[in-house]
């Protein structure tokens, strides 16, 4: 009997929908479409949440990237919201129903913040605005650094020219003792001896001295 009643009710609902569309009953047809739309949106939300929680870091999912409460304190408050609400409910019962406690303010306090879409949109625009200001400030700093004048040659420290001393000339004289040009093997020895007098001497400088003399 119950099954026959349910079948008749289901058939009546289908006929009502058919008649509403046929006679263009906007109220009924829109109500049915609204319910279907809400169901579809709810299933889509559930699918996206499952996808987000499968991420190694769910906070990087696009659903949570602009959520203000996604922080260490915010998540703690969300997880403790049920117990917090239950204690508030028990306090209301004791004060307003059972009259066992003196009424105290603070019944409407919540440990989490709620946001409307409009408020979230304002927060997002403010973040984008701040990012734009920071990028402009960085560009200004870079352009300013490029415009800084380079030190002129007059301000650069002048390099003093090293004058070969008599002691260095005595060491360098060994370069000219060979009959067939300067042997490469003697250069490291000469450089080592010269560096005991001055650290300015290198292999290249020794070769240049040999060419000039």
Name the more confident of 22 and 79: 79
Question: Does residue 191 carry a pLDDT above 70?
Answer: yes
Q: Measuring CA to CA, which residue among 189, 185, 170, 182 is closest to residue 211?
A: 182
Tens-place pLDDT, residues 97-154: 888 888 887 767 777 888 887 888 888 888 888 877 777 777 766 666 656 655 555 5
**The dihedral of CA 198, 202, 203, 208: what is its sign?**
negative
Q: pTM of the full predicted structure? A: 0.35
The pair of structure tokens assigned to 38 is 């809400």
Name the more confident of 210 and 93: 93
Question: Does residue 15 carry a pLDDT above 80?
Answer: no
Q: Identify the band that residue 36 occupies on the pLDDT scale cut at 50, 70 and 90.
A: low
Q: Which ranges constitute the DSSP H helices of the chain?
A: 2-22, 26-53, 72-79, 81-92, 117-147, 166-172, 187-194, 203-212
* Furthest CA-CA distance within the chain: 129
Tens-place pLDDT, residues 46-93: 998 898 888 888 888 888 877 888 888 888 888 888 888 888 888 888
**5 conformational bin, left if phi > 0, alpha if psi -120 to 50, beta if neither:** alpha
Rounded distance, CA 180 to CA 178, Å?
6
Residue 205: predicted pLDDT: 85
Rounded distance, CA 133 to CA 143, Å?
15
Taking a C-beta distance cutoff of 8 angstroms, is the pair 69, 78 a contact?
A: yes
Q: What percent of the chain has pLDDT over 70?
A: 71
Q: What percent of the chain has pLDDT over 90?
A: 0
Question: Does residue 17 carry a pLDDT above 70?
Answer: no
Q: What is the mean pLDDT of the chain?
A: 76
Q: Where are the domains positioned within the chain?
A: 2-60, 72-142, 166-212
Q: Which residue has the tokens 């499952």?
A: 50
């Amino acid at each position: 009997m119950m099954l026959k009643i349910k079948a008749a009710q289901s058939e009546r609902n289908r006929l009502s929908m058919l008649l509403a569309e046929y006679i263009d009953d906007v109220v009924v047809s829109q109500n049915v479409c609204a319910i279907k739309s809400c169901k579809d949106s709810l299933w889509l939300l559930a699918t996206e949440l499952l996808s987000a929680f499968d991420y190694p870091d769910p906070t990087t999912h696009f659903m949570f990237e602009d959520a203000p409460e996604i922080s260490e304190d915010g998540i703690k408050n969300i997880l403790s919201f049920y117990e917090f609400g239950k204690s508030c409910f028990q306090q209301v019962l004791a004060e307003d129903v059972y009259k066992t406690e003196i009424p105290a303010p603070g019944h409407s306090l919540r440990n989490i913040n709620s946001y409307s879409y409009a408020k979230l949109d304002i927060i997002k625009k403010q973040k984008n605005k701040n990012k734009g200001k920071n990028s402009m400030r960085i560009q200004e700093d870079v352009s300013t650094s490029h415009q800084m004048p380079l030190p002129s040659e007059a301000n650069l420290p002048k390099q003093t020219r090293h004058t070969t001393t008599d002691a260095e000339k005595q060491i360098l004289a060994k370069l000219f003792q060979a009959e067939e040009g300067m042997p490469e093997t003697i250069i490291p020895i000469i450089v080592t001896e010269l560096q005991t007098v001055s650290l300015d001497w290198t292999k290249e400088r020794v070769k240049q001295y040999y060419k000039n003399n």
